[in-house]
Structure 1
Amino acid sequence: MANTCTDHHNDDAEPAPDATAPTPPEQTWHLTIAYDGSAYAGWQVQTKQKTVQGELRTRVRLLFRSPELKVYGGSRTDAGVHALDQQVSFTAPTPPDMTPDKLVYVLNRWLPDDIMVLRARICPGAFNPRYDNAGKAYTYCIAPGRRVNPLFARFVWRTPRPLAVPAMREAAALLTGEHDFSSFAANPGYELESSVRKLYRLDVSEQHGLIFINAVGESFMYKMVRGLAGYLVHIGAGHAPAADATRVLAARDRSQAADSAPPQGLFLAKVFWNDDEWRHYEPLIPPFTLI
């Protein structure tokens, strides 16, 4: 599905309050943000816990003087998961001098250093990134059996031993395609009509002593990517042959796969707006170069 939002570029001065001015017309905004999720209990607002959505919503409500404003995200990332391309929307009364450049400037002054607004757009109609996207890509980072530079240690899963990458690739090929992925979702069937998903790509690559799992799909169930990553590490560690992936898929039972990978190695890497955009996608490796 094509993204119909339009870019605007004007001044970036902060808006001045005007108590006598009439209420401005509502506009739907579309933001792209990045964040280091290490200090957050995930994207979604939670009671008494710091979340990315909560931090962003507080600032947006202040900026637009709209205490009931709702902020929607394209992916409900888990606690400790990071994002390079999280998509956000909200609708708010928007003064004529509130431009996308100005919004980016002000929010980035107000937000904590581990959350950054990359881009802002005004949409001509209704828009919700959770439902209006055409697919997503995630990258999972692994340090197999080795110490890593402490400057990026919090962005990788350090496994206790080296991993057999060829076996991981063989299993990944068996998992690619349209399948029932109940065996890899934390809550199979939760709020879902179907647990069948189309996985366009599941690649395993090596660079600089690290292993990267790239998952590209139409949509993903809750903790599905972490489930896939944990299972591929299970295969790479020699706990099962690559062909076991076929059995696990057919079982449609979460207990038949390995434990999920921990959250710190996972990045929401890219959101697609056009149906074939994923075909030309090349993941940023390593993804934490943008954090």
Structure 2
Amino acid sequence: MQRIRYYYLVKLQFLGFRYSGWQKQPDQKTIEAMLVKTLKYILADQKFKILGAGRTDAKVSALDAAFELYLDDTPIAVLDDFLELFNKNLPPDIRVMSIREVDQAFNIIQNSKEKEYIYLFAYGKKSHPFCAPYLVTFLDDLDLNKMNRVARFFEGTHNFKSYTARVQENTKVIRTVTSSEIKENTILQANFFPKKTYAFHVKGEGFMRYQIRMMMGVLVQVGKGELSEEEVLDSLKEESNMKLPFVAPGSGLILNQVDFNILD
């Protein structure tokens, strides 16, 4: 008897501060592992698998993440009821926002059109401890005007091989960044945040591991006067062998939006 499979696109939010990233790992608390554990409970003996739209590092959060749910034999009867049951059994730092059925032709990796990440930060004075899960405070004074000018250097198609932890043979190092800029933070607010906080916004089709955190690290070094604008431009050239020592902490990074080409 031929197996029947049903496909669903699930959107979710999570606070990543107590998780070791998205991907399942032995003896580690991860977002994927928590989702699978919860689905096993609410789906009982039904066969399923999930595939994320991408992987996030330890402590990285998401306001608009996504995964595809593959369900064998029996479809979800009422999507709203399933959504409510799913959320009821997830921990408070993970929330499923929506679920919709998609066609078999939909591929969560290939149909991902653009992603936007933001990196929340403050600088100068040490922040309230409650800020730790949401933003990073750099204790040095930073030249924001210079940082924002250099942030624009990342826009366009460049060789980002210096902006990842390890380049392997199949690593796609040529990446296109459609937007890169620093703005005042209007995404998250709290009364214990510093008076002024900032957000580094980056949009593109896809990013390598640590890429945005290393881009942020470069901007911080520029803001502190440790890297020149010319050195940043050189780091984006194919012949660059520059070693970038500073990877900005994961807790400031948030996946803000994922856009898909949905095949209806």
TM band (smaller chain): 0.7 to 0.9
- 2:35·2:90 contact (CA, 8 Å) conserved in 1? yes
Distance 1:67 1:49, change over 3 A: farther
Which ranges of structure 1 fall in alignment gaps of 5 or more residues?
1-22, 276-291
Tell me whether 34-43 or 257-266 shows the greater mean CA deviation. Answer: 257-266
Q: Determine the structure 2 residue equivalent to 1:196.
A: 174
Among 55, 62, 68, the alignment partner of 1:76 is 55
Structure 2 counterpart of 1:99, one-letter code: V
1:220 is matched with which residue: 204, 207, 224?
207
How far is the alpha carbon of 1:145 from its aligned partner?
1.5
The answer to whether the 8 Å contact 1:234/1:258 transfers is no
Equivalent pair of 1:64/1:94 in contact (CA under 8 Å): no
One of 90, 99, 120 as aligned partner of 2:69:
90
CA contact (8 A) 1:180 1:195 kept: yes
Give % identity.
27
In 1, Cα distance between equivalents of 2:9 and 2:220: 36
Q: Which runs of 4+ in 1 moved over 6 A?
A: none
Residues 105-114 or 143-152, more deviating: 143-152
Alpha-carbon distance in 2 for matches of 1:144, 1:165: 10
Residue 28 of structure 2 is aligned to residue 55 of structure 1: no
Q: Is the 8 A contact 1:64 1:92 kept in 2?
A: no
Q: Secondary structure at the match of 2:137?
A: strand
Distance 1:228 1:24, change over 3 A: same
Report how many aligned residue pairs link the two structures. Answer: 252
Residues 40-82 of structure 1 deviation map (CA, whole Å, 9 limit, x = unaligned): 1100000111110000011112322346532110120001100
Gaps in structure 2 of 5+ consecutive residues: 186-194
The residue type paired with residue 211 of structure 1 is Y
Match status 1:140 vs 2:140: no
User: What is the aligned partner in structure 2 of residue 279 from structure 1?
Assistant: none
C-alpha change, 1:100 and 1:238, in structure 2 (3 Å) is same
Which residue does 1:263 correspond to in 2? 250
Cα distance in 2 between the residues matched to 1:47 and 1:252: 36
Is contact 1:184–1:254 with CA below 8 Å preserved after alignment? no
Query: How many Å separate the matches in 2 of 1:66 and 1:220?
Result: 36
SS of aligned partner of 1:170: helix
Taking the aligned partners of 1:221 and 1:185, their CA distance within structure 2 comes to 6
Deviations 1:2-49 (A, max 9, x none): xxxxxxxxxxxxxxxxxxxxx995311110010000111100000111
Q: Distance in 1 between matches of 2:43 and 2:240?
A: 47
Q: TM-score, normalised by structure 1?
A: 0.80
What is the distance in 2 between the residues matched to 1:190 and 1:100? Answer: 42
More displaced 10-residue stretch of structure 1: 237-246 or 87-96: 87-96
Change (3 A) 1:102 1:190: farther
Contact 1:84/1:269 (<8 A) preserved = yes
Paired residue type of 1:69: F
1:218 shift after superposition: 1.4
Q: Distance in 2 between matches of 1:143 and 1:105?
A: 36
Contact 1:175/1:245 (8 A) holds in 2: no
- TM (normalized to structure 2)? 0.88
